[in-house]
Structure 1
Amino acid sequence: MLKELSLVRNRKPIMYVITTRSCADCRAFMESWGQLPRVTLSSLTAQFLAVLVLDDYLLDMNPALSPPNVDYLPRVFFADPDGTLRLEFTNEGGDRTVPFYYPKAQDVVESMRRFLAQHWEAVGTDVFRADLEEDIL
């Protein structure tokens, strides 16, 4: 059963990871998270509300997470705390024809850092920077 997200109290940006169990690329992508340094992984993921969406439930989540001509997996989207998708945050090092496709977790980390730097600047705070200077910059 899909649980609804209550974004009323949420202050963290959201990261949607869309995957499926039957996809070899998706399995390799999920396994690549284990290759990241634990400090980097824990410090960055602590600053996001991470939502793992299995492809079967995608339409129940948000139709915007399945834009036209976007049927590849895995893909990652970023959103503001209120749920507004930020489609300008894509895999900069990836193929432009599949902008939300991330073959490995390290690619997502780079987008997470860019998104957080922009997010905290827009909020007008550097609340996490003192502890995570090397992870954010």
Structure 2
Amino acid sequence: MLRSMLIPAVLIAPHCLTAAEKVSATNFYVVNQEQISAGEDVFWKEDNYGTYTVDEGPIDPGFVRCVGSGFGGPSGVSGGGVCVYGEEEDTFTMRWEVVAFGVNNWRIVSSTGKYSGMTGSGTTKTRVASKFLALPHRISDWEGEVALPARD
């Protein structure tokens, strides 16, 4: 009995798995950040909205919202948050953690719609778009690997 159940599972399994694909994308957003003095450090919290473009990978460009908080000061920067990509029923959520100033590690923690079942991880590097704009902007380049389950 076990053997007869195992054979269909072995035959179906390869159709459910997809190899990881390289992903490379860029977030563009207006910075909405608050800073509060915390002794020698500063506590920061942000809630940034914007868009993202895709250079490579199995995802579509769209809207992004990144929310996070942490501390920064003479001893370095720590913190993390989430970014939600897409809209309506087709979204994926990336959890990120600060590694150093302007550098984060990320991993996909949830996904819905056409991204349902997506996994992945990688790194992000963030920079200021221009100090001379009326509102401060950030650009975050992120790359890594993502895998989407095969769809029939």
Pick the TM interval, shorter chain: under 0.3
**Going by fraction, where is helix more abundant, 1 or 2?**
1
Bigger Rg, which one? 2
RCO greater where, 1 or 2, for CA within 8 Å and sep 6 or more? Answer: 1
More strand by share: 2
